[in-house]
Structure 1
Amino acid sequence: MSDRTFAAEDQLPRVPLPTLEDSAERFLQWCAPLLNDDELATTRAAVDDLLRADSPARTLHAELREYDATPGVGSWLDRFWPSRYLGRRDRIALNANFFFLFRDDTVLATSTGATQVERAAAIVSAAVDYKLALDEESIPPVTQRGQQLSMWQNKYLFSETRIPGEVQDSVRVPYSDDSPGPSTARHIAVLFRGNIFRMDVIGPEGAPYALEDLIDGLRAVREAGATRTEAGVGHLTTKARAEWAASRAALRAVPANVDALDTLETALFCLCLEDLTPTDTLHACDQLLHGDSANRWFDKSVSFLVFEDGRAGINIEHCGLDGTTILSFVDTLLETSVADHAAHSGAQKQGTPPIAPIEFVLDDALRADIAAAGADFAQYAADNATTTVSFENFGTARAKQLKISPDAFAQLSYQLAHRRSKGITGATYESIATRQYRNGRTEAMRVVTPEIIAFVDAVENPALDTAAKLEAARAAATAHVERARQCQSGDAPEQHLWELQWIQRRRGEELGVTEPIALYDSPGWVVMRDDYLSTSSAPSVNIEYFGFGSTSPTCIGIAYVLLPDRWNLYLATPQTVADQMHAFAGHLRTAVADLEALLN
């Protein structure tokens, strides 16, 4: 196996394309536990209609099969991901972007000073080292159980910017037809008090600036941006996408603003210097998720944030980057000292790097637009309720002692807590990584199985003895592991059926498929995808918390860091149902204790 970053991509196995019959059968199995008899009968009839010999779904599936066999296409999902992520029309700020809060005791953090500019400069130095290594393809491919994983997402780490569109967004990115090969940019965008600055991080001869130089440059940024701007253009990136597209067009009507946007969009990444110290960990997490939107550019693929006290984290635009890619990126940055990063990258002392304000020419209409966007998003963020839950004495090591899959333990606990807090079992999403495939990203797993419902019923039934409850827990854990294995193997129905729906939207008229397909209005499709819990994990010893917003008006977003010795969760939900989230958090603590006692 080659150690070159992208060498294995063409040799990786392709994502299997399920048959229409297999996806339909699994879909029925997956949605059935959430439906009553009448709903299931209606859904079964829709599936039968989908599978009839002359069904329009067969035309759509044939088109997908033909696309999958097209030379140069890496995966049948290659058009799905842009449709899914770039096609969404709501905000990406808080709704789609996700964050990691770094630990304070990483090798990188402890190898330099603790002030804001020292920590920020260390992160910049480490990121530039990674960027130059990526350019040379000397970042070894990530492996899992000896198998190399897809690394194509790493091409989206630097100089990638999402561009708002009226109908669908686009992406400005290197390694593309418009910009072949790695990014040639030598600068980053630094934001402080809503002011935006260009700062070079790679010198004229190609050598990165030394740590001391970067510190001096960031001090100069803080001094130049000491007065908070009243027109933080970053507010506009919080708008719904079509609205932001209209605002961007108004900005670009002024030539100077075209240059300003070009500087921002080609920057390697954003560095947001915050002029506050978080009051506690939850406050730090909330600031990383949304914070001061004047001091953000949410369309940038990577934004590092550093607070006044030196605490730090990262905010990620999701269209080209998943959590597993960011974890390996962040681990590489944080597990090495700043001196070793500098030595590896060939950083040289070159004096204070050039900095310059990125300035926009704004008329009264644009200023009003910016102010309204900022006020609207501030209210939107205030309408988002969050909390953290931490288990300092439970982690994967304890789960393995109890002879249960750690993730199964987590998901069983979530279901038990949800039933106790709301009295119902609701649709639950879990992200499953599939990077072992070419262009692999994630698969959508639906957690609720008949065995999980039987487990919760059993635990909540005082008439059952411990042996019966234990048997139900073991059966639910086994079913969970098996479904996760199916997802990892590409044997999952949702994204396949969803892509058929996208094909109809994109090309239905051309293919002669214009009539509504009953499946997509069936109770099974609607109920299975209406998340009550949306869950994802980020296992890294360098991460304290991971977080994202909820996905529906009744949803609790559950981002969890499950490690051998601890288990930290960040929960988010709309303020209108905040009491349900707090009840869930309380019941989760007792659910974990009860399940641990049962398995013990």
Structure 2
Amino acid sequence: MLRTWLAFGSGVLLQRPGPVGRRGYWRTVGLTEGIVSELDTDHHFVHRSTIPTMHFQDSLPRLPVPKLEESIRRYLAAQKPLLDDDHYRNTERIAREFEKEEGRKLQQALVELDKKNKHTSYISDPWFDMYLSARDPVVLTFNPFVSLNPDPKEGYNSQVVRATNLVVSSIKFLNSLKNECLRPDIYYVNPKWSQSRPFKNFIRLLPTSVSWYGAYMVNAYPLDMSQYKRLFNSSRIPKLNKDELFTNEQGRHLLVMRNGHFYVFDVLDPFGNILHPSEIQAHLIYILQDADHLPEFSFCYLTTEERNTWAAIRQQLLEAGNEDNLQKIDSAVFCLCLDNICPKDDIELSHCMLHGQGFNRWFDKSFSLIITSDGTAGINFEHSWGDGVAVLRFVNEVYRNSTRHPAIVPQSDPAALCPAKCERLEFRLNESIQSAINAARMKFDETVEKLSVKRFEFKKYGKEFLVKQKLSPDAVFQLACQITAYRLFGKIVSSYEACSTAAFKHGRTETIRPTSLLTKQCSLAFVEERSKHSVSELRNMIDECSKYHRRLQMEAALGKGFDRHLFALKHLSVSRDDPVPEFFLDAAYQKLNHIILSTSTLQSPAVHIGGFGPVEPDGFGIGYNVYDTWLGCNATGFLTRELQDFLGYLEYSLNDILDVLEGRPLV
């Protein structure tokens, strides 16, 4: 570990001892060039970066608006495997007419609008609008989860110890972000540059207007970090027809939930000092003791409601005199959920982290840190403000810091309990609100009762084997899913794989469409024509699918997919009150966007499992990973039997692929 670091920025560096009882804690007011002791690194920051956090933001490249003819070509390529010849010809006709007429006019308008808004991307506002205008409940529909691995030191996994350490590390991350000393997100083609002090000092001295180009010179690619401003002190506020995102960076208090009760206490002082860990520990112990029963009415259930319903009830809450308490919830740095449950396996864990029991969550917070009774930790996050890149970075840093530099040890003595510093929020709930809570609870219980979660692990091969075969591991898993879906449904279905476009200013995501003519051909060969193809022919099909999938991945990452582009054109048309073009009314367009297989991959040394709900009632949500020696997924769906069959067939498909790769004919 570095013993010193450079502090930079405006202002004067002042160090003085913190209050009595905070030995080793220091206050920092302003930052300038100079040498700072390691104490601040340990107690107030996850690390100190030589390069300022937002140093690259001004010079990031802009997300390109694809050419309309290229998007139409890619769109038709994605439609081809889903349609029979007659339907495809009709869809092609509609698409070509759109390209020549309404689409051309919308494209011109979109390009002009993009030129006027060089501070952002063409997709940013429409994408925010899509999320915030959606009236579906956020739970299951939008909010994903990630579950953290246990602390490697067994004694540190008790609920209070784990919660205290994760809270302290989370606030260190917040301090690092606020003070511009969180390392920027950079993708290094040559990882040696990430440890190169000359490189960092050179980049730091470059003006922000050209800093991205300096990194690009050595094949280092900074990523957009605009979403981080919504990570803390933020909530989604329900409003009629369209919600709002609220952020109050002045909030210094933590929101803690236990058995459906709300508590707040300050975790930062006005100078940015973190509350001493023993005091945080004492507050959490007090909360566990105080919240010993469920409230008669837990209005947490309201955050699981349809958004217009929730917006109307929230207005009733405000009128009933709950404005101050709601403001404290919305502006809290984040929400800590102390659950009274010990999941016995990964299935129960997934249910806990994805939706819980409803009464101990505030699903509108930017993220909630969940700690179960046995110290298992996870994150559930609201999706409108940002994507997995920011959340995964936060999870990685907090896990690493809390396990390597724990704020307290299992034998730590908490500070003296001081209930006055920990406020329990009490709410005024009239009969109308109570009735709404009961209705929300019943709907929530009925919905989660129908949701099935299944785990799948395949131990025969993983990334190492597939790379030796010169195949894309991601492509092979996606191909296996395509073959499996054909086995299960007897047809080719629409699929979705998420891809980040964070390499561009205000980039969000793009869609990879794993379903192609090549995967259709391969699916038919593996399911219906097993005896008609030689091993070498089948192997060649797998190779071609892998190459094509790599191409789709690259195009999506470079902003050259078609989904976001067409979505932006449609959004522009609607915003101008134009008649909806026939292109967007085509049944084939609707079918393509009825996602049966919604997939996303997430891999990190900090993450145990992750997951999300299905996009459609008749679809599956598949969070998967390809590890070095095995692969697996965490799958969700409302069709329990079909989900179980899907995973059984998935094992069959992966075994078939293994047989072909090892030269064995299919039987």
Select which of 586, 596, 600 maps to 1:536. 600
Instruction: Give the equivalent residue in structure 2 for 1:478.
Output: 547
The reply to whether residue 87 of structure 1 matches residue 133 of structure 2 is yes
Equivalent-residue separation in structure 2 for 1:51 and 1:400 (angstroms): 40
1:187 to 250, 253, 262: 253
Partner residue, 2:276: 210
* Counterpart amino acid of residue 239 in structure 1: E
Structure 2: distance between partners of 1:300 and 1:457: 45
CA distance in 1, matches of 2:561, 2:271: 50
2:158 paired residue among 89, 112, 115? 115
Question: Does 2:298 correspond to 1:226?
Answer: no
Structure 2 residue 650 is matched with structure 1 residue 588: yes
Higher relative contact order (CA 8 A, sep 6+): 1
The code of the aligned residue for 1:214 comes to: I
Q: 1:411 to 1:471 in 2, by over 3 A?
A: same
Q: Are 1:209 and 1:350, in contact at CA under 8 Å, matched by a contact in 2?
A: no
1:178 matched residue in structure 2: none
Could you tell me which residue of structure 2 aligns to residue 433 of structure 1?
500
**1:10 aligned to 2:36?**
no
1:344-363 matches, within 5 Å, as 354-363=421-430
| Preserved CA contact (<8 Å) 1:541 1:563 | no
Bigger mean CA deviation after superposition, 588-597 or 37-46: 588-597
Query: What does residue 615 of structure 2 align with?
Result: 551
- 1:168-225 CA distances to partner (integer Å, 9 max, x unpaired)? 1110025xxxxxxxx1211111110000111221235531123222111101111121
Matched letter for residue 379 of structure 1: E
Q: Which residue number corresponds to residue 63 of structure 1?
A: 109
Distance in 2 (alpha carbons) for counterparts of 1:562 and 1:158: 31
In 2, Cα distance between equivalents of 1:63 and 1:73: 18
Q: Within the alignment, does 1:99 sit opposite 2:168 as a pair?
A: no
- 1:81-106, Cα deviation, whole Å (9 max, x unpaired): 11221111111111100000111145
135, 149, 154: which one aligns with 2:228? 154
User: Structure 2 CA distance, aligned partners of 1:287 and 1:584?
Assistant: 23
2:264 maps to amino acid: R
Quick one: distance in 1 between partners of 2:310 and 2:369?
Answer: 23
SS in 2 for 1:293: coil
Q: 1:48 maps to what in 2?
A: 96
Out of 242, 253, 260, the residue aligned to residue 168 of structure 1 is: 242
Q: Which amino acid aligns with 2:562?
A: P
Contact 1:544–1:568 (CA under 8 A) maintained in structure 2: no
Change over 3 Å in CA distance of 1:379–1:323 after alignment to 2: same
Amino acid at match of 1:233: F
Task: Tell me: CA distance 1:132–1:341, structure 2 relative to 1, closer, same or farther (3 Å).
Answer: farther
Q: Secondary structure at the match of 2:116?
A: coil
CA distance, structure 1, for counterparts of residue 590 and residue 373 of structure 2? 45
Q: State yes or no: 1:442 paired with 2:509.
A: yes
Contact 1:98 1:289 in 2 (8 A): yes
Which region of structure 1 is more displaced relative to structure 2, 389-398 or 270-279?
389-398
- CA shift for structure 1 position 32: 1.3
1:78 and 2:124 are equivalent in the alignment:
yes
Is 1:235 the counterpart of 2:301? The answer is yes
Alpha-carbon displacement from aligned partner over 1:209-255 (angstroms, at most 9, x marks no partner): 23222111101111121121121111000001111101111111123
Q: Distance in 2 between matches of 1:34 and 1:437?
A: 31
Structure (1 or 2) with the larger CA radius of gyration = 2
Shifted more, 116-125 versus 396-405: the winner is: 396-405
Q: Cα offset for 1:565?
A: 3.8
How far apart are residue 543 of structure 1 and its match? 0.9
Percent identity reads 28
Q: Give the match for residue 340 of structure 2.
A: 275
Matching residue within 335, 349, 359 for 1:284: 349
Paired with 1:199 and 1:226, the residues of 2 have a C-alpha distance of: 19
Pairwise CA distance, 1:355: 0.9
- Cα offset, 1:596, TM superposition: 2.2
Deviation at 1:563, TM superposition (A): 2.7
Aligned residue pair count: 575
Shift of 1:341: 6.3
Q: Which piece of structure 1 moves more, 149-158 or 331-340?
A: 331-340
Cα deviation 1:281-301 (Å, max 9, x = unaligned): 110111110111111000001
* TM norm structure 1: 0.92
Q: Is the 8 A contact 2:302 2:310 kept in 1?
A: yes
5+ unaligned residues in a row in structure 1: which ranges?
Answer: 175-182, 344-348
Distance 1:375 1:27 in 2: 41
Please name the residue that 1:177 is paired with.
Answer: none
- What is the CA–CA distance in structure 2 between the aligned matches of 1:87 and 1:599, rounded to whole Å? 47
Match of 2:82 in 1: 34
In the TM superposition, residue 56 of structure 1 has moved relative to its aligned partner by 3.0
Structure 1 residues 455 and 214: alpha-carbon distance in aligned structure 2, compared to 1, 3 A threshold = same
What amino acid maps onto 1:436 in structure 2? A
Corresponding residue of 2:175: 132
CA distance in 1, matches of 2:488, 2:353: 28
Q: Distance in 2 between matches of 1:315 and 1:37?
A: 44
Question: 1:126 touches 1:338 (CA, 8 Å); kept in 2?
Answer: no
Residue in structure 1 matched with residue 556 of structure 2 by the alignment: 487
Asked whether the equivalents of residues 150 and 157 of structure 2 are also in contact (C-alpha less than 8 Å), the reply is no
Amino acid at match of 1:328: R
For 1:220 and 1:188, locate their aligned partners in 2 and report how far apart those are by CA, in whole Å. 14
The answer on whether the counterparts of 1:40 and 1:523 sit within 8 Å (CA) in structure 2 is: no
RMSD value, Cα: 1.9
Instruction: Please tell me whether the aligned partners of residues 124 and 507 of structure 2 are also in contact (alpha carbons under 8 angstroms).
Output: no
CA-to-aligned-CA distance 1:376-420 (integer Å, 9 cap, x gap): 101111111111112345332232122211101110111112122
Change over 3 Å in CA distance of 1:392–1:210 after alignment to 2: farther
1:279-320: CA deviations, max 9, x gaps? Answer: 211101111101111110000011011111111111010011
Q: Which moved more, 1:127-136 or 1:588-597?
A: 588-597
For residues 276 and 495 of structure 2, the distance between their equivalents in structure 1, rounded to whole angstroms, comes to 47
- Out of 571, 574, 580, the position equivalent to 1:502 is 571
Partner of residue 179, structure 1: none
What is the deviation of 1:465?
Answer: 1.3
- Inter-CA distance 304–426: structure 2 relative to 1 (3 Å threshold): same
Q: CA deviation at 1:568?
A: 3.2
Gaps of 5+ in 2: 1-48, 190-219, 409-413, 663-667
Aligned pair in 2 of structure 1 residues 120, 485: CA closer, same or farther (>3 Å)? same
Contact 1:288 1:305 in 2 (8 A): yes
Corresponding residue number in structure 1 for 2:532:
463
Residue 370 (structure 1) aligns with: 437
Give the aligned residue type for 2:315.
A
1:39-82 per-position Cα deviation (integer Å, ceiling 9, x unaligned) = 11111121122123xx2333322221122111453111121211
The 1-side partners of 2:402 and 2:151 are apart by 12
Deviations 1:410-457 (A, max 9, x none): 101111121222222100000011111111121012111111111112
- Per-residue displacement from partner, 1:497-541 (whole Å, max 9, x unpaired)? 111111122222xxxx2x231111213312211111000010112
